[in-house]
Amino acid sequence: MKVLVVGGGIIGCATAYELAKAGCQVAVFERATAGAEASSAAAGLLAPLGESTDTNFARLALASWRLYPGVVAELQRRTGIDVEYVTRGTIYPMSATQTRRDADAWALNKEFGVEVLEGADVQALEPALSPKIRHAIFVKGDHWLNNQRLVLAYAQAAVSAGAELNTGCNVSRLVVEGSRVRALVTDGERVDGDAVLLAAGAWSAELMAPIGAGLRIEPRRGQMIALAHVPPILTYCVHGEAYMAPRPSGELVVGATVERAGFQRAVTAEGIAGLLRAAIELVPSLRELPIARTWCGFRPWAPDSLPVLGPWPGVDGLFVATGHFRNGILLAPITARLMTEWITGGQPSLAMKDFLPDRFVRRPAR
Ligand SMILES: Cc1cc2nc3c(=O)[nH]c(=O)nc-3n(C[C@H](O)[C@H](O)[C@H](O)COP(=O)(O)OP(=O)(O)OC[C@H]3O[C@@H](n4cnc5c(N)ncnc54)[C@H](O)[C@@H]3O)c2cc1C
């Protein structure tokens, strides 16, 4: 079976890898380089605990988080790339009432090592935190990694498993004949396949419009800063109004804004000032650190903020994996697994009803 993957971000590369391992002939088409867009712009936080653990989204996120230790080891074995997977845990500064309420409400406290910190215990764990912070929740199970390296590792692993990675190849349209997708067109050339996986991130809706499909995906811009973090000030990730994740390579990643700014590729004075203000409020000594770089990226967002995963109804052979919004790095391993199950003719091993693309299908008004 020949599968054509549109987009070489984390979702396209991870799924290409799983498809190649499952015996498919895979070709990825990426108009820039692997991971050029949101997948490199991200912070790499793997933090699945939300307000509830009793939703299909929470189950998806937890399933992916549980796959990570195996994925990291497998990618390192195959490619030699160390993705800087850090499992020390994250501190969430909070108010006293919030701390008790949230810690009690969080199920899975044991698996995630959730602890309430009060008074001097906060600074005993992370001395650089502002003395004003008297209450926090520590979540040992909230991890992070270097997503730029992760996407390259997935891309290399896919190639080593037999996938073809075509970079610098813009896909201009999908070819649908009858009710089946037959091919895509890249640089004026038609490439035929048995299935197409659309994983074009925030740009995914563009290729669907000409075939009359009403997929709604929009960009949500995120601005980020890396501070030079040598010698390190923080040991743990700290997550308040801004988050700060210390990377072993010596950068402290500070993020992130969430903005409706179209595809304007710009970091703004307001965006950067807001992040730095929030970060310095939590960790005052950060004000001394040099700014190493700033950047922005475009999260793929669907109107219900949920991922869009599965077959496109009415067009045989066409699959969609997009809309991962703020969690595409976390969700990559499970997305790759579920899409591979689906594309190779099996049934996905998790409840998918909330994520199905058919929620975007235009139905006649009754
Ligand atoms: C600032 C920021 C911080 C984030 N932090 C986190 C985090 O801490 N944890 C987390 O889990 N997630 C995070 N995210 C979200 C995460 O980055 C995204 O959900 C994820 O990267 C989406 O992956 P993707 O492969 O769908 O999209 P992308 O990485 O954008 O990849 C899509 C690719 O498709 C290509 N493409 C588009 N159109 C075409 C075409 N016509 N032909 C060929 N190629 C095409 C693009 O060039 C691009 O490379 C963050 C995002 C941002 C912006």
Distance CA 11, CA 209 (A): 21
Q: Which CATH architecture group holds 90-142+219-301?
A: 2-Layer Sandwich (3.30)
Choice from 30, 45, 334 to test ligand 1 binding pocket (greatest atom count within 8 A of CB): 30
pLDDT at 362: 63
Choice from 296, 329, 331, 334 to test ligand 1 binding pocket (greatest atom count within 8 A of CB): 329
Written in H, E and C, the secondary structure of 213-250 is CCCCCEEEEEEEEEEECCCCCCCCEEECCCEEEECCCC
Q: What's the average model confidence in pLDDT over 68-80?
A: 98
With cut-offs at 50, 70 and 90, classify the pLDDT of residue 212: confident
Query: Which residue has the least CA distance to atom 4 on ligand 1?
Result: 42
Q: What's the average model confidence in pLDDT over 271-275?
A: 98
Q: What is the largest CA-CA distance in the chain?
A: 68
Are 102 and 112 spatial neighbours (Cβ–Cβ below 8 Å)? no
Instruction: Identify the CATH number of the domain defined by range 2-81+147-217+303-360.
Output: 3.50.50.60
179 Cα: distance to centroid of ligand 1 (angstroms): 29
Choice from 4, 10, 225, 319 to test ligand 1 binding pocket (greatest atom count within 8 A of CB): 10
pLDDT tens digits along 126-168: 999 999 999 999 999 999 999 999 999 999 999 999 999 999 9
CA atoms within 13 A on the CB side of 212: 8
54, pLDDT greater than 70:
yes
Over pLDDT 70: what percentage of the chain? 95
Q: Does residue 112 or residue 260 have the better pLDDT? A: 260
pLDDT at 213: 83
Are 219 and 212 spatial neighbours (Cβ–Cβ below 8 Å)? no
Most confidently predicted of 87-101, 104-118, 169-183: 169-183
171 Cβ below 6 A of ligand 1: yes
pTM above 0.95, yes or no: yes
125 Cα: distance to centroid of ligand 1 (angstroms): 34
pLDDT at 208: 94
Lowest-pLDDT range of 95-109, 205-219, 339-353: 95-109
Q: What's the average model confidence in pLDDT over 320-339?
A: 98
310 Cβ below 6 A of ligand 1: no
326 Cβ below 6 A of ligand 1: yes
pLDDT at 227: 98
273, pLDDT greater than 80:
yes
Whether the CA torsion 287, 277, 281, 91 is positive or negative: it is negative
48 Cβ below 6 A of ligand 1: no
Query: Which residue has the least CA distance to atom 12 on ligand 1?
Result: 327
pLDDT at 103: 62
Bridge pairing between strands 251-255 and 243-246: antiparallel
214, pLDDT greater than 60:
yes
pLDDT tens digits along 306-316: 999 999 999 99
Going from N- to C-terminal start, the domains of the chain cover 2-81+147-217+303-360, 90-142+219-301
Q: Which amino acid is at 27?
A: A
Give residues with Cβ within 8 angstroms of 56, minimum separation 6.
350, 351, 352, 353, 354, 355
Distance CA 252, CA 52 (A): 29
Q: Output b/e per residue, 276-307; b: 16+ Cβ within 10 A.
A: beebbbbbeebeebeeeeeebbbbbbbeeebb
pLDDT at 364: 52
pLDDT tens digits along 20-41: 999 999 999 999 999 999 999 9
146 Cβ below 6 A of ligand 1: no
Bridge pairing between strands 318-322 and 195-198: parallel
